[in-house]
Amino acid sequence: MNPSPPPFDPARWLDELMRTSTSPWPLADATLQAWQQGLAQVNAFWTAALMPTDAAATDRRFAADPWQQDPRFASMSQAYLRFATLMQQSVDKAPLDARSKAQCAFMLRQVVDAMSPANCLATNPEAMQAVLDSGGASLLEGARLFMADVAKGRISMSADQAFEVGRNLATTPGSVVFENELMQLIQYAPTTAKVHQRPLLIVPPCINKYYILDLQPENSLVAYAVAQGHSVFLVSWRNVTAEQGHLGWDDYVEQGVLQAVSVTQRIGRSKRLNTLGFCIGGTLLASALAVAAARGESPAASLTLLTTLLDFSDTGELGLMVDPQMVAAREASIGQGGLLRGRELAQVFAALRANDLIWPYVVNSYLKGQAPPAFDLLHWNGDDTNLPGPMYCWYLRQTYLENRLREPGGTLQCGVRVDLSRIDAPAFVYASREDHIVPWHSAYASTRLLRGDTRFVLGASGHIAGVINPPAKRKRHHWTGPLAADAPAWLDAAQRVEGSWWPAWSEWLQGHAGKQVAPPRKAGNAAFPVIEPAPGRYVNTPAA
């Protein structure tokens, strides 16, 4: 009878690997020594931290054949995952309040993710095989890609030269019909014989370029809305420089959203508009409509909110970074003037999903020498946008820190007390189930703040991929159903529908878009002549 094999000992295994290794790189030896020392300290816990033997196979970092077929690297990945589990368990058991525990878990995850053996050449069998197969060329190419990214100040996620705004991104035909210090307003050319009487005004997020809603023709929400017979207008926010560093939240509401509403009304010859806001664009739009309501105006025939927060009670991991000390420090540094650099915001968002948005690109580019492929969404993700310091600080304090926007009269905006319940318009509220920026149950909370008849739809996937889901792709699914007391109760009763949520939104919007009329013969009017073709200058201004 064959004796049972001895239990795996990571420290002993690394000893043997070090003794037999012929690696010529000091970095490899140092890395293996670090692993030996670290794993030896926790080796006593391995037998207690049982994990299914195929755990690494379900982790994308270790799913490739070299990790699974070589027992040395299979054991290493298993040991790492056990270690990660133990660290998480230690936080779960810590005598801390819920917020402090969540903060510790977030910071620990950054460290543990960085420690993955996949992130180092000496402990990544795929990267080492690439070195052998290429005769070392992968190392040279990885070094070149690394230096190129150092020069750019960011990790490349997409082939930079593959896309250009106005050439193969943001190509839906249109014209800039208005501009001010803060934004340009684009009017898109109709493509149907008749259009709906009421225009559709879209307010994208100001923390990114607008063309996330107009990527390539096959996945453009703008092009889709135009094809459904809507006269579409869209705000293109300026990528602000130091000259605009004095602008505040009220400027974005007044000079941005409300100015766009006014111009759209006059060009579209309609007092009432359909309106759509995405992410912080939705927060700005709702604020602007509440300001208008306080002034006795009701310009919105409908309101669509895509992955938008109005109630900031639960902001997920992003909210863990906001506390009174952090906000006070920001107010002291840029609250009276200055810029929040777009690169800083991008790094924060990437840190929320480091294993999706940081480490895969480090491994593929720098360790394997593989340049990232062309991907329009990730190209947009790397197109940074600055924010004025006063605007950013107001937003941080009034929403993430003090959650005043949900309170009737809780914020003073443009000289009036804002009450979201005064927005008298039917609403379509969309959320993404795996959204790490706007938790879907927090988006659902908007349904309790708005007075008009409200419909809630939940899509699969995340903050961006869930929204940009054209019907022709036949991907993902969504849930729909009548409103309930809270988000879990809504989901329990909701119906799952295969495919994109866009058709459901289009059908809903048509009910608020008015009768069919002849499309305008040209963009703009006598008061607002065409300034330049879309996509306009503002979207092409790089972050300074």
Read off the amino acid at residue 257. V
Each residue of 142-154: b (16+ CB within 10 Å) or e?
beebbeebeeeee
Taking each continuous run of H as one helix and of E as one strand, the counts in the chain are 21, 17
Angle ∠(530,531,536) on CA atoms, nearest 5? 115
Token couple for 410? 């809780």
Token couple for 86? 């133990």
Placement of tokens 């309930």 in the chain:
484
Is 104 marked active-site?
A: no
Read off the amino acid at residue 20. T
**Phi, psi angle pair for 344, to nearest 5°:** -65, -45
User: Residue 321, class by beta-carbon neighbours within 10 Å (0-12 exposed, 13-18 middle, 19+ buried)?
Assistant: middle
DSSP 371: P
Q: Which of 104, 120, 206, 279 is catalytic?
A: 279
Give CA–CA dist 111/297, Å, rounded: 51
Q: Which helix (H) or strand (E) holds 427?
A: strand 427-432
Token couple for 80? 């790492």
Give CA–CA dist 152/148, Å, rounded: 6
Return all residues near 286 (Cβ < 8 A) that are at least 6 apart. Answer: 277, 303, 305, 308, 310, 420, 423, 450
Each residue of 214-251: b (16+ CB within 10 Å) or e?
bbbeebbbbbbbbebbbbbbbbbbbbbeeebbebbbbb
Using alpha carbons, select from 522, 519, 526, 517 the residue that is nearest to residue 175.
522
Q: Are 389 and 229 in contact (CB under 8 A)?
A: no
Using alpha carbons, select from 307, 302, 279, 315 the residue that is nearest to residue 457.
307
Q: Are 466 and 278 in contact (CB under 8 A)?
A: no
Residues, the chain = 544
Q: E-assigned strands of 204-307? A: 232-237, 273-278, 300-306
Q: What is the CA radius of gyration of the chain?
A: 26
Give CA–CA dist 271/277, Å, rounded: 19
Q: Is 187 left (phi over 0), alpha (psi -120 to 50) or beta?
A: beta
Q: Are 237 and 256 in contact (CB under 8 A)?
A: yes
3-class secondary-structure state, position 303: strand
Q: Catalytic residue positions?
A: 279
